[in-house]
């Protein structure tokens, strides 16, 4: 919580039915925050996780009136609300991703009008110039590499516009905004099937299926050479808290990601080791695969906060694999 804030101040988490939003609600609840309003348009039964300590509201935040209801009386607003998913979703549904601009447009205006003290916007590493990500041996991306702008079509451009809104609301209206560029967040309670899951969850699920169904094989999207860094959910929520409450980072985009770079093939091998198997791999070059390489340069966040995500990929994957295996087995009882 921010300096001067109390446990009685109302915190609003938009998109709380999703993976990161739900984790942040639990994070603040565990730290004694007494007033949390969790908002999402999905039916409550479809939320990734729910906290008994939170007031849970079903609202469509692309609608201006619902945004005003959501932020009424709030001291802090955290915006994760978006129609999004992994690469399979954001490459196929660019219009849906672009329409997320309605959410942030209405929500930040409502927050400003309501006198909210701090507003957090969940941006994405998809804002980075794609011409800098054409090689798996990518140089880690620093914050200034978003310009000159050449973001990923659809989702990336919407996030870049959201960042600009945050910067202008601070410059023109004095609303303290925080902007984190999230890098491939994963962990328990995330999407793991259905088309919205990201690579760590997708590969964990494929390995679980191969083991449980004794197929001996998995399908890898692309040729396995693409590289990424992956950020464990516990590190993500701590980083969001720290960034939001650091005045030196007001209206300043900052990377929130691990700098541990791995290829998709290496990611699959790590999951296989966790599962104690070695599987035959089939590669699907026609599947959505995104840029060739992307990694987070954490120089700025370390200089400013003296902190960076620290959970190793091996440790995070082990927890994620165990959780997904339990979900799979519960479904197939």
Nearest Cα residue to 234 out of 122, 310, 303 = 310
Nearest Cα residue to 288 out of 212, 211, 220 = 220
What is the CATH code for 186-228+261-300+312-331? 3.90.25.10
Residues sharing a CB contact under 8 Å with residue 59, sequence separation 6 or more, in sequence order: 39, 40, 41, 66, 67, 69, 70
Q: How many residues does the chain have?
A: 333
DSSP 8-state code for residue 247: G
- 124 - beta bridge partners? 182
Among 27, 128, 155, 328, the one annotated catalytic: 155
DSSP 8-state code for residue 39: E
Write down the pTM of the prediction.
Answer: 0.94
Q: What is the pLDDT of residue 6?
A: 67
27 catalytic per annotation: no
Residue 204: other Cβ atoms inside 10 A: 29
Angle formed by the axes of helices 19-30 and 233-244, nearest 10°: 70
The CA distance from 254 to 246, in Å, is 11
Question: How is domain 11-185+233-256 classified at the CATH fold level?
Answer: Rossmann fold (3.40.50)
The CA distance from 274 to 104, in Å, is 39
Q: What is the pLDDT of residue 8?
A: 85
Two structure tokens written together for 222: 């692309």
Low-confidence ranges of the chain (pLDDT < 50): 2-4
Q: What is the pLDDT of residue 1?
A: 52
The CA distance from 179 to 121, in Å, is 5
* HSE, side-chain direction, 13 A CA sphere, residue 135: 6
Beta strands in the chain (DSSP E): 11-14, 36-40, 54-58, 76-79, 118-124, 176-182, 185-186, 217-221, 227-229, 231-232, 253-256, 261-263, 280-284
As to burial, measured by CB atoms within 10 angstroms (0-12 exposed, 13-18 middle, 19+ buried), residue 194 is exposed
Range(s) for CATH 3.90.25.10 in the chain?
Answer: 186-228+261-300+312-331
Residue 25: other Cβ atoms inside 10 A: 27
Q: What is the pLDDT of residue 91?
A: 79
Residues sharing a CB contact under 8 Å with residue 16, sequence separation 6 or more, in sequence order: 22, 24, 25, 38, 39, 40, 47, 54, 56, 80
Residue pLDDT, tens place only, 41-75: 999 999 999 988 899 999 999 999 999 999 999 99
Angle 100-102-45 from CA coordinates, rounded to 5°? 60
Range(s) for CATH 3.40.50.720 in the chain?
Answer: 11-185+233-256
* HSE, side-chain direction, 13 A CA sphere, residue 329: 9
Q: What is the pLDDT of residue 4?
A: 45
């Amino acid at each position: 919580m921010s300096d001067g804030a109390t446990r009685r101040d109302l915190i609003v988490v938009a998109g709380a039915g999703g993976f990161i939003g739900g984790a942040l609600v639990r994070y603040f609840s565990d730290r004694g925050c007494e007033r949390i309003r969790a908002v999402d348009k999905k039916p409550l039964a479809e939320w990734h996780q729910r906290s008994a300590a939170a007031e849970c509201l079903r609202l469509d935040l692309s609608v201006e009136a619902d945004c005003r209801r959501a932020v009424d009386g709030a001291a802090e607003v955290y915006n994760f609300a978006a129609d999004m998913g992994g690469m399979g979703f954001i490459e196929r549904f660019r219009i849906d991703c672009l329409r997320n601009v309605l959410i942030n447009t209405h929500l930040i205006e409502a927050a400003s009008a309501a006198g909210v003290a701090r507003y957090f916007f969940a941006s994405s590493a998809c804002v980075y110039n794609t011409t800098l990500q054409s090689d798996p041996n990518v140089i880690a991306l620093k914050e200034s590499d978003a310009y000159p702008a050449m973001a990923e079509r659809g989702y990336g451009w919407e996030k870049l516009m959201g960042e600009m809104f945050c910067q202008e609301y601070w410059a023109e209206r004095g609303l303290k905004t925080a902007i984190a560029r999230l890098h491939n967040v994963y962990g328990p309670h995330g999407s793991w099937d259905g088309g919205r899951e990201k690579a760590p969850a997708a590969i964990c699920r494929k390995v679980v299926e191969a083991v449980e169904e004794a197929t001996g094989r998995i399908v890898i999207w692309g040729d396995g050479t693409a590289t990424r860094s992956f950020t464990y959910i516990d590190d993500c929520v701590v980083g969001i808290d720290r960034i939001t409450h650091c005045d030196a980072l007001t209206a300043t985009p900052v990377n929130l990601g691990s700098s541990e770079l791995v290829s998709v093939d290496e990611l699959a091998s790590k999951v296989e080791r966790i599962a104690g198997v070695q599987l035959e791999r089939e590669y699907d070059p026609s599947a959505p695969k995104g840029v060739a390489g992307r990694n987070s340069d954490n120089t700025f966040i370390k200089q400013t906060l003296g902190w960076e995500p620290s959970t190793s990929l091996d440790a995070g994957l082990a927890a994620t694999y165990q959780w997904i295996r339990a979900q799979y087995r519960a479904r197939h009882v």
